[in-house]
Chains A and B, each alone.
Chain A
Amino acid sequence: DAGVIQSPRHEVTEMGQEVTLRCKPISGHNSLFWYRQTMMRGLELLIYFNNNVPIDDSGMPEDRFSAKMPNASFSTLKIQPSEPRDSAVYFCASSQNSDLDETQYFGPGTRLLVL
């Protein structure tokens, strides 16, 4: 199994530009999570999907952030327009989300720097 795949691995952009982060979950997993990690705030859940449906987006900072999951094998997190305070590592994780296994498997992350 290839694990959770994220792209790009690094992104440097200028303030005001649109940023799109991509994630391919582990095949067969029915839940997908987007996290943001910074030194100041640690690991924060932004949004999670269950069976491609957004369940809880209360962690999304503001309207500049949006996430989609058009099918079971692909999700995007978009920031438009980006701001310097959005600089962080963005992780995608997937899970079987069952009584038998709650483990979340994380992708390698996307390191975003907004100048």
Chain B
Amino acid sequence: RKEVEQDPGPFNVPEGATVAFNCTYSNSASQSFFWYRQDCRKEPKLLMSVYSSGNEDGRFTAQLNRASQYISLLIRDSKLSDSATYLCVVNPASGSARQLTFGSGTQLTVLP
């Protein structure tokens, strides 16, 4: 089983739609969680951290369910510029190491 699993998509949605991505992780001891965004032929960039209580940044809402080992990302009122691959990222927190484990990504295309 992969440490971080995501639906690869692709998700093709019309502009203005709401879209949700899910991610599961295998290590119950994982301490911190993130969503990164990667545009085509570019490097990954941090989109947002995911906190236990859930957090929102504009049109983006991230939620964490530790009991189910599940992370979600909701994008409201999607824009053409949201088209990218979204990477679910987990810090397994083994000892003092701060290695991030990346999911394989979910591809989103927002259509005009």
Contacts and interface: CB of A to CB of B under 8 A. Distances in A.
Main secondary structure of the interface of A (DSSP, over half): strand
A42 B34 CA distance: 17
Contacts of B103: 42
B87 to A, nearest CB: 7
Contacts of A106: 43-45
A102 B100 contact: yes
Contacts, number: 38
Contacts of B43: 91, 106-109
B91 interface: yes
A95 B97 CA distance: 12
B85 to A, nearest CB: 10
Contact of B104 (A42, A45, A56, A105): A42
B97 A56 contact: yes
A70 B44 CA distance: 26
B55 interface: no
Given A42-B104, A42-B105, A102-B91, A108 B42 contact: yes
